[in-house]
């Protein structure tokens, strides 16, 4: 038996069939019991073990451990969250849905998703070194308005937790593949943080730069630079300041800047689906091509909180803003598949948001045995989004959305063991579409003039859940929640065939999500959760390839159902083991069908995923974390003959083969102030194709994942 199979056997003998939600505790400072974690993204803060749905909290120590393997947020979430598929190893998170549906991504509650024209980049809007924790709500929710048909990912930024006037940390890291065929694969990471508290004033400033080298696969070949993560410079600046006016009143301000741009002399070459990967070779880019990536993403808020403004009542009010500019790859003119008047071009997305929130949190004790907490509030959001080409032509006109909403969320506890949660949110959304023209495919075609207008949506979204704390070993729950999403309106409008906006199918996706499950605390060392879920949407949001190789939205009704299992615990004092398993399937109704008879594409439905981990603390101040991730096969579609009679898969319907990956992270703490860490991504240097490249079934996207990469880092705390 070789070392790889021996290691897997050891992990399975200790952990199988265990499944984890809180996946790693790298040191004693983070040895927090599951029940002590408070979740805030539910808007009505609650202890995590009491939530009547699947909620995942990824702690700062866990984030830092994953970041030692790969600092890209889409990679981290693909490893850490059971129902999010593995990263595509590109800048796009197009195929990374949550339980098969769209994710609403937030930074401190500020929406990063752009529903008016989806960037597919919203998981990559912040550096992991600026994050205190990540809260993930799985399943449809409208708690923050449009976009949460599959759930929410909320990146909660760091804050000062020191009583000293000044403290800080400096981190230095080197990364490399050390593969003989590869050159210039080395990179670096620098991060500097200062924080402290002076009287009633506290502050935190965190700045970092990450420079990745060229990406190589397990055979040492350069990975295709198309949407690539190689030779990308990532910059992030977080500044947070707070002032305690008195014991009950506080004002806080936050600003976060993020940028990630690729600058490479590699160009994509070759690529034949199911035969050979597209790789990178030294070459010259088109002179008109700009460096692709996120040029800037600005986020800021100003928040005021007041405790006990009335008896048992707290107030929170905030204003926030976001400004984003993303550049996609340059597309040369392809005579076989013309686009943009038979010219090359490079698409961008520009988005701006301004919003405000106010909420009142209070409680009512009806009797000693019946107690209610509730939050009532209102949201306002102005969203402006467009998709111009770099040369100035408007592919999607500037769309403006005005969203106002009121909501009420309650939690009532009966006799300390029966909990009823219920809430309602009413959204009123108005999207203003100007008169515009679509860009024709051929240069001799006229631009189709579209008469604009207002698209108005009003929707009351409900949620309800019931949980019963019978015994520690069995706490069942049931829940129902609705999600609302204006799904990628710009994608629909840019290829419109009608001459009036009101004739175009633009209704939002409304998702009904159901979940039944239970949590268990087994003894003092083990935590287990099992859930079965299903969701239904009368208008779907699956994608299929259209003219020019660009995706189009399929609005057919959909149903998704699946299971999720998680468990973690300590079999012995110096080891923690666990893992997670998620499997779900989706079908939609074909045209004029009364049943769900057609499988949803792989762009929405990920292959089943099993994750296992072992964390050991063999000697004082030394921690070793071993991760294993397995994704299964998904083969739901039959290839059909193309024009030449060759059997081919339709785009988005490719066969996904299994993937097995091992990752290793170890750290040593010296004198509390110095930490040395080593991370090894793809420990056994496996050569594999990413799930996304397999399912998309495009020659130009058939690319491999990273080979073995090392990250050696040194952190000084003072």
Q: Which H helix or E strand runs over 571?
A: strand 558-572
Best CA proximity match to 351, nearest among 147, 103, 114: 114
Q: What H or E segment, with its residue span, contains residue 221?
A: none
Token digits of residue 532: 């079965």
* CA–CA dist 250, 240 (Å, integer): 13
pLDDT of res. 4: 43
* Residue 523, pLDDT score: 84
Helix (H) or strand (E) holding 446: none
User: What is d(CA 648, CA 310) in angstroms, rounded to the nearest whole number?
Assistant: 67
**Helix pair angle (60-67, 73-80), 10° resolution:** 120
Q: Give phi and psi for 561, each to the nearest 5.
A: -140, 150
Helix (H), strand (E), coil (C) string for 395-412: EEEEEEEEEEEEEEEEEE
Nearest to 558 by CA among 543, 568, 548: 543
Phi, psi of 695 (to 5 degrees): -75, -30
Residues in the chain where the model's pLDDT stays below 50: 1-35
DSSP 602: T
**Which pairs count as long-range contacts for 33-41, CB under 8 Å and 24+ apart, including other chains?**
34/521, 34/527, 35/521, 39/135, 40/135, 40/156, 41/106, 41/109, 41/135, 41/137, 41/143, 41/152, 41/154
**Helix, strand, coil fractions of the chain, as percent rounded to 5:** 10, 55, 40
Q: What are phi and psi of 77, to 5 degrees?
A: -65, -35
d(CA 134, CA 128): 10
Domains of the chain, by residue range, sit at 3-156+170-717
d(CA 193, CA 227): 30
Handedness of CA 196, 198, 202, 208 (dihedral sign): negative
Q: Pick the closest to residue 628 from 167, 79, 235 (CA basis).
A: 79
Beta strands in 290-417 (DSSP E): 293-310, 313-331, 345-365, 370-388, 394-414
Q: What is the CATH number of domain 3-156+170-717?
A: 2.40.170.20
Name residues whose C-beta falls within 8 Å of residue 489's C-beta, 6 or more positions apart in sequence: 115, 116, 117, 399, 431, 455, 506
pLDDT score, position 51: 65
Cβ(42)–Cβ(137) below 8 Å = yes
Query: In whole angstroms, what is the distance from residue 438 CA to residue 213 CA?
Result: 39
Q: Report strand pairing: 151-157 vs 103-107.
A: parallel
Look at residue 607 in the predicted model and tell me its pLDDT. Answer: 96
* Distance separating alpha carbons of residues 237 and 235, to the nearest angstrom: 7
Give one DSSP letter per residue of 457-487, joined into a string.
Answer: EEEEEEEEEEEE--BTTBEEEEEEEEEEE--
Q: How many CB atoms lie within 10 A of CB 337?
A: 12
* Residues facing residue 193 across a β-bridge: 169, 206
CB 193 within 8 A of CB 168: yes
Pairwise CA distance, residues 632 & 167, whole Å:
46
Nearest one of 73, 65, 95 to 663, comparing CA atoms: 65
């Amino acid at each position: 038996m070789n070392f790889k199979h021996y290691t897997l056997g050891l992990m399975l003998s200790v952990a199988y069939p265990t499944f984890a939600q809180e996946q790693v505790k790298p040191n004693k400072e983070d040895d927090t019991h599951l029940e002590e974690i408070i979740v805030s993204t539910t808007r009505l803060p609650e202890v995590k073990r009491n939530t009547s749905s699947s909620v995942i909290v990824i702690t700062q120590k866990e984030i830092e451990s994953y970041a030692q393997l790969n600092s890209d947020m889409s990679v981290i979430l693909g490893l850490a969250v059971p129902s999010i598929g593995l990263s595509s190893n590109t800048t796009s998170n197009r195929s990374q849905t949550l339980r098969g549906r769209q994710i609403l991504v937030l930074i401190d509650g500020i929406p990063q998703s752009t529903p008016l024209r989806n960037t597919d980049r919203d998981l990559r809007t912040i550096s992991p070194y600026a994050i205190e924790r990540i809260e993930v709500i799985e399943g449809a929710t409208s708690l923050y308005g449009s976009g949460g048909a599959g759930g929410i990912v909320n990146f909660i930024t760091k804050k000062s937790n020191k009583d000293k006037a000044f403290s800080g940390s400096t981190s230095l890291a080197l990364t490399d593949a050390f593969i003989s065929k590869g050159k210039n694969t080395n990179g670096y990471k620098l991060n500097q943080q200062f924080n402290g508290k002076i009287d009633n004033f506290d502050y935190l400033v965190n700045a970092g730069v990450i420079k990745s080298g060229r990406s190589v696969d397990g055979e040492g070949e350069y990975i295709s630079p198309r949407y690539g993560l190689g030779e990308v410079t990532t910059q992030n600046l977080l500044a947070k300041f707070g002032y305690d006016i008195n014991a009950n009143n506080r004002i806080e301000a936050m600003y976060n800047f993020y940028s990630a741009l690729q600058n490479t002399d590699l160009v994509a070459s070759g690529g034949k689906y199911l035969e050979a990967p597209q790789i990178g070779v030294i070459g010259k880019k088109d002179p008109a091509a700009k460096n692709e990536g996120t040029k800037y993403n600005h986020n800021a808020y100003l928040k005021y909180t007041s405790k006990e403004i009335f008896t048992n009542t707290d107030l929170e009010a905030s204003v926030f803003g976001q400004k984003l500019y993303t550049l996609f790859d340059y597309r040369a003119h392809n005579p076989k598949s013309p686009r943009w008047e038979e010219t090359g071009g490079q698409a961008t997305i520009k988005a701006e948001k301004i919003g405000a929130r106010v909420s009142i949190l209070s409680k009512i004790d009806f009797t000693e045995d019946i107690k209610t907490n509730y939050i009532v509030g209102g949201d306002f959001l102005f969203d402006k989004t467009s998709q111009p080409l770099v040369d100035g032509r408007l592919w999607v006109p500037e769309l403006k959305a005005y969203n106002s909403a009121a909501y009420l969320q309650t939690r009532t506890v009966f006799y300390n063991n029966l909990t009823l949660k219920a809430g309602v949110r009413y959204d009123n959304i108005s999207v203003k579409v100007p008169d515009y023209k679509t860009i024709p495919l051929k240069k001799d075609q006229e631009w189709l003039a579209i008469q604009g207008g207002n698209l108005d949506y009003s929707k009351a979204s409900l949620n309800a859940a019931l949980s019963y704390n019978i015994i520690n070993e069995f706490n069942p729950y049931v829940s129902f929640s609705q999600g609302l999403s204006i799904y990628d309106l710009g994608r629909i409008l840019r290829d419109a065939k009608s001459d009036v906006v009101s004739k175009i199918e633009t209704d939002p996706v409304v998702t009904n999500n159901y979940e039944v499950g239970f949590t268990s605390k087994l003894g003092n060392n083990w935590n287990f959760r099992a859930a079965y879920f299903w969701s239904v949407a009368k208008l779907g949001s699956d994608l299929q390839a259209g003219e020019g190789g660009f995706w189009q939205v399929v609005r057919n009704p959909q149903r998704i159902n699946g299971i999720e299992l998680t468990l973690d615990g300590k079999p012995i004092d110096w080891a923690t083991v666990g893992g997670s398993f998620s499997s779900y399937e989706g079908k939609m109704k074909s045209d004029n069908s009364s049943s769900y008879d057609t499988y949803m594409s792989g762009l929405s439905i990920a292959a089943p995923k099993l994750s296992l981990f072992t964390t050991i603390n063999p000697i004082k101040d030394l921690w070793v974390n071993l991760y294993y991730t397995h994704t299964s096969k998904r083969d739901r579609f039959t290839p059909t003959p193309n024009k030449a009679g060759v059997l081919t898969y339709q785009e988005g319907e490719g066969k996904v083969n299994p993937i097995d990956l091992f990752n290793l992270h170890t750290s040593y703490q010296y004198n509390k102030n110095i930490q040395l860490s080593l991370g090894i991504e793809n420990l056994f240097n496996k050569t594999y194709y990413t799930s996304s490249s397999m399912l998309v079934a495009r020659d130009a996207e058939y690319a491999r994942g990273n080979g073995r990469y090392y990250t050696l880092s040194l952190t000084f705390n003072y």
